[in-house]
């Protein structure tokens, strides 16, 4: 049983307890346990077998027992009992914005409502507004929430939203009396998907900022408007929260609104232990504000060094910071190249020369031109005779380019029987070989794992591309035994890709961290099929940082010379 499935059961228990009106701290305990299990870089089953479950923060005797039960039976007695008390379908109601556990319980007890469809009907028939504590306004809000849910305005890929957030900041900067301004929230942490855009500002005239904000042409509707906090929904669907704070508490507010929620709770608890109250208005001892202008002060108040936003998930960063063992994360400006770009020779839209020029503009030193192999006909895969022309084009570019070098590469298909789509003699021609799966996603775990292992064991393969095949919001990762793959890749000196295309981000953050811990090298590639998509490289760096990677874990920090050495050594 996978970590995710165990976490799911615990989360359901938390939701049912919440609806039931159980002790909120017990609810939080289940939620925290679920989160921490999901963030594990080892199998929870393994920890259970070794009797080490209680080493996971937030898991004591009781939860350890329940987790063992869940692993062996797929469920636990407590969950089954709860499901008899509270209909599990009610959990779906909680996904409606504006509907929480109390409302869900009320709807079920008074009207017998269990599904979103039933709730929508009841609202349209105005049966909901007759309930105690609910009037027409709330009924309208619930209906609107259901509409939003239907439009799939849930979590959106970071790559779609980040440019929008940056544009909003630019507009506010230009049109309003802004002093400091930052995007906070999950965007600042660079989570792979985001639910809303959080923007924080300081200004001598916050009222004016709010005024400018709500009248921006991008804004569709105003959800809430206060003096310090305004929420709107953009016409394109995403919610934006704007908060104005005093300069004296900007750092505290930035830390607070960056989150994550779980990270903040831990920081505040550390504050309480030291007799401090930490909130978005600063750091307080009694009624006296003792800091908060800069973010560093918040961490310093609880005896911690500043923690990079990408790590703030309560996945062990606080313990690492306490022990002085935070990783020295790879920086965005240490990235010297992109491993994975498609050209006109296969299904890309840019020529070799254009890719080289774009790389120069991005400040890169090298780019791997890795087109598809022959089997992938739909993607214009290269037959052996196209390959010579491509090689010539790359050599021509490199002859006259001193600062940017292109690598003659391929993204060779791993066929459904585990063979590669080019024979070894042909593969030997390339400077850089990425092997990827593009078909047979429905095979079982053993078969898929075997295909990747076969590629790893071929000494001509440098990198395994988008290892899990997932597409955010579209396709789940196919089943793989990643632990075995990591260990094989480490032994063979094969790198695994962090594919930076905004819908892939594959490996993801948690898997990247597990790979790093297994001693696997990681290679960031944009998988760009156009010049614009080469901009996504920073999303891949974000994944690396969220995966606790240091420069030495990331091959993209290599200079061209170092990289050539590595590529050669690999083949020896």
Q: Write each residue from 278 to 297 as x if it is in contact with DNA (CB under 7 A), else as -, in one continuous string.
A: xxxx----------------
Quote the CA–CA distance of 289 and 278 in Å, as a whole number: 10
Residue placing its CB nearer to DNA in the complex, 192 or 421: 192
Piece of 165-173, 276-284, 326-334, 425-433 that binds DNA (CB under 7 A): 276-284
Q: Does 487 bind DNA (CB under 7 A)?
A: no
* Contact window for DNA (CB under 7 A) among 162-170, 222-230, 325-333, 457-465: 222-230
Rounded to 5 degrees, what angle do the CA atoms 35, 17, 68 make?
Answer: 55
CA distance 336 to 186: 26
In the region spanning residues 345 to 374, those forming contacts with DNA, defined by CB under 7 A, are: none
State in angstroms the smallest separation of the CB of 103 from DNA.
3
Nearer to DNA, 101 or 368 (CB): 101
Specify the residue, 222 or 362, whose C-beta has the smaller distance to DNA. 222
Our finding on whether 182 is near DNA (CB under 7 A) is no
Q: Closest distance between DNA and the C-beta of residue 296, in Å?
A: 20
The nearest distance, CB 197 to DNA, in angstroms, is 11
Overall residue count recorded for the chain in this entry: 572
Name the minimum Å distance from CB 46 to DNA. Answer: 19
* Centroid of chain to Cα 384: 38
CB-wise, 2 or 261, nearer to DNA?
A: 261
When the beta carbons of 13 and 341 are compared against DNA, the nearer one is: 13
Structure tokens at 200: 């924080």
- Report cis status (omega within 30 of 0) of the bond before 260: yes
Task: Write out the two tokens for 333.
Answer: 């400006």
Residue 101 or 540: which CB sits closer to DNA?
101
Site for DNA in 36-55 (CB under 7 A): 54
- Say whether residue 23 binds DNA (CB under 7 A): yes
Q: Is 130 in the site for DNA (CB under 7 A)?
A: no
Per CB under 7 A, 104 contacts DNA: yes
Q: Is 269 in the site for DNA (CB under 7 A)?
A: yes
261 binds DNA (CB under 7 A): yes
State in angstroms the smallest separation of the CB of 88 from DNA.
17
Give the shortest CB-101-to-DNA separation in angstroms.
Answer: 5
Residue closer to DNA by CB (options 132, 217) is: 132
DSSP state letters, 266-325: HHHHHHHHTT-EEETTEEEETTEEEE-SSHHHHHHHTT-----GGGTTTSSHHHHHHTT-
Q: Identify which of 101, 146, 90, 158 has the alpha carbon closest to the alpha carbon of residue 121.
A: 146
Tell me the two tokens of residue 258: 């960056």
Q: Is 275 in the site for DNA (CB under 7 A)?
A: yes
Q: How far is the CB of 240 from DNA (least distance, A)?
A: 11
Least separation in angstroms between residue 530's CB and DNA is 33
Among 277, 293, 336, 360, which residue sits at the site for DNA (rule: CB under 7 A)?
A: 277
Residue with tokens 């022959």: 374
Site residue total, DNA (CB under 7 A): 65
Question: At 333, is the secondary structure helix, strand, or coil?
Answer: helix
Shortest distance, CB of residue 190 to DNA, whole angstroms?
16
Examine residue 398 and tell whether it contacts DNA (CB under 7 A).
Answer: no
Look at the block and give the residue holding tokens 């929904």.
233
Nearer to DNA, 12 or 516 (CB): 12
Edge-to-edge order in the sheet of strand 239-244: 181-183, 196-201, 239-244, 229-234, 219-225
Between 153 and 492, name the residue whose CB sits nearer to DNA.
153
At closest approach, how far in Å is the CB of 474 from DNA?
23
Minimal distance, residue 478 CB to DNA, in Å: 31
Half-sphere exposure of 294 (CA within 13 A, CB side): 6
Q: Which of 60, 473 has the CB closer to DNA?
A: 60
φ, ψ at 35 (rounded to 5°): -60, -45
272 belongs to the binding site for DNA (CB under 7 A): yes
CA 151 vs CA 96, 213, 237, 292, 370: distances in Å: 12, 24, 9, 40, 37
Q: Within 13 A of 74's CA, how many CA atoms are on the CB side?
A: 0
- Which residue number, 49 or 261, has a Cβ lying nearer to DNA? 261
| Binding of DNA by 61 (CB under 7 A) | yes
Is-contact 410 370, C-beta < 8 A? yes
Contact 189, 310 (CB under 8 A): yes
For DNA, the closer of residues 423 and 473 by Cβ is 473
**Cβ nearer to DNA, comparing 259 with 337:** 259
Helix, strand, coil tally for the chain in percent (to 5): 50, 15, 35
| Residue 198 main-chain phi, psi, to 5 deg | -105, 125
26 forms part of the interface with DNA (CB under 7 A): yes
Task: Identify the residue among 84, 125, 132, 204 touching DNA (CB under 7 A).
Answer: 132
Verify binding: residue 177, DNA, rule CB under 7 A. Answer: no
* 260 vs 533 by CB, closer to DNA: 260
Does residue 30 belong to the site contacting DNA (CB under 7 A)? Answer: yes
The reply on whether position 229 binds DNA by CB under 7 A is yes
Rg of the chain (C-alpha set): 26
Question: Cα angle at 560 between 555 and 563, to 5 degrees?
Answer: 40
Show contacts with DNA in window 84-103 (CB under 7 A): 94, 96-103
> Per CB under 7 A, does 126 bind DNA?
no
Q: How far apart are CA 106 and CA 278, in angstroms?
A: 35
Contact indicator for 538, 336 with CB cutoff of 8 Å = no
Of residues 213, 197, 206, 214, the one with CA closest to residue 179: 206
Torsion of CA 308, 311, 314, 318, to 10 degrees: -50
Residue 198 pairs with which residues in a beta bridge? Answer: 241
Q: Which residues contact 73 (CB under 8 A, 6 or more apart)?
A: none
Determine the 3-state secondary structure of 459 from DSSP.
Answer: coil
Residue from the set 45, 69, 92, 141 that interacts with DNA by CB under 7 A = 141
Residues that bind DNA (CB under 7 A): 23, 25-26, 28-30, 33, 54, 57-64, 78, 94, 96-104, 129, 132-139, 141, 185, 195-196, 198, 224-229, 239, 241, 257, 259, 261, 264-265, 268-269, 271-273, 275, 277-281
């Amino acid at each position: 049983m996978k970590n995710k499935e165990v976490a799911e059961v615990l989360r359901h228990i938390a939701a049912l307890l919440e609806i039931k009106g159980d002790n909120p701290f017990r609810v939080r305990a289940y939620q925290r346990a679920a989160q921490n299990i999901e963030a594990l870089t080892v199998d929870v089953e393994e920890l259970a077998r070794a009797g080490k479950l209680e080493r996971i923060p937030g898991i004591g005797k009781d939860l350890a027992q329940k987790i063992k039960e869940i692993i062996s039976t797929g469920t636990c007695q407590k969950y089954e009992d709860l499901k008899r008390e509270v209909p599990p379908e009610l959990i779906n109601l909680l996904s409606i914005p504006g509907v929480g556990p109390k409302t869900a319980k009320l709807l079920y007890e008074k009207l017998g409502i269990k599904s979103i469809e039933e709730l929508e009907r009841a609202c349209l028939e105005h049966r909901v507004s007759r309930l105690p504590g609910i009037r027409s306004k709330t009924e309208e809000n619930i209906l609107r929430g259901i509409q939003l849910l239907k439009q799939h305005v849930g979590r959106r890929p970071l790559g779609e939203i980040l440019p929008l957030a940056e544009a909003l900041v630019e507009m506010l900067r230009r049109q309003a009396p802004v002093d400091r301004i930052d995007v906070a929230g999950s965007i600042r942490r660079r989570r792979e998907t985001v639910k809303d855009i959080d923007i924080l500002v300081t200004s001598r005239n916050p009222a004016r900022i709010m005024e400018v904000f709500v009248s921006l042409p991008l804004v569709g509707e105003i959800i809430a408007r206060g003096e310090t906090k305004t929420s709107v929904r953009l016409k394109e669907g995403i919610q934006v929260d704007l908060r104005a704070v005093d300069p004296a508490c900007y750092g505290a507010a930035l830390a607070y609104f960056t989150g994550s929620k779980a990270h903040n709770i831990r920081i505040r608890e550390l504050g309480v232990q030291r007799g401090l109250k930490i909130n978005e208005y600063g750091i307080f001892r009694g009624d006296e504000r003792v800091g908060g202008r800069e973010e560093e002060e918040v961490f310093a108040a609880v005896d911690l060094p500043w923690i990079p936003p990408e790590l703030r998930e309560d996945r062990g960063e606080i313990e690492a910071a306490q022990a002085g063992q935070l990783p020295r994360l790879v920086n965005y400006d240490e990235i010297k190249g992109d491993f994975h770009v498609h050209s006109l020779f296969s299904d890309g839209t840019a020529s070799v020369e254009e890719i080289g020029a774009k790389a120069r503009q991005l400040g890169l030193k090298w780019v791997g031109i890795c087109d598809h192999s022959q089997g992938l006909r739909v993607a214009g895969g290269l037959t052996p005779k196209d390959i010579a022309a491509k090689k010539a084009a790359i050599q021509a570019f490199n002859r006259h380019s001193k600062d940017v070098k292109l690598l003659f590469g391929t993204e060779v298909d791993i066929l459904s029987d585990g063979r590669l789509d080019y024979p070894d003699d042909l593969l030997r021609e390339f400077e850089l070989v990425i092997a990827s799966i593009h078909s047979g996603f429905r095979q079982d775990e053993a078969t898929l794992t075997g295909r990747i292992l076969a590629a790893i064991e071929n000494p001509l393969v440098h990198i395994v591309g988008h290892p899990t095949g997932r597409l955010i919001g579209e396709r789940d990762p196919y089943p793989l035994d990643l632990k075995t793959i990591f260990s094989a890749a480490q032994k063979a000196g094969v790198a695994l890709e962090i594919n930076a295309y905004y819908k892939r981000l594959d490996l993801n953050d948690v898997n990247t961290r597990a790979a790093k811990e297994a001693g696997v090298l990681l290679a960031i590639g944009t998988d760009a099929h156009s010049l614009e998509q080469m901009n996504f490289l920073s999303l891949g760096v974000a994944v690396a940082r969220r995966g606790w990677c240091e420069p030495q874990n990331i091959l993209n920090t290599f200079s061209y010379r170092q990289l050539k050495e590595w590529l050669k050594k690999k083949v020896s």
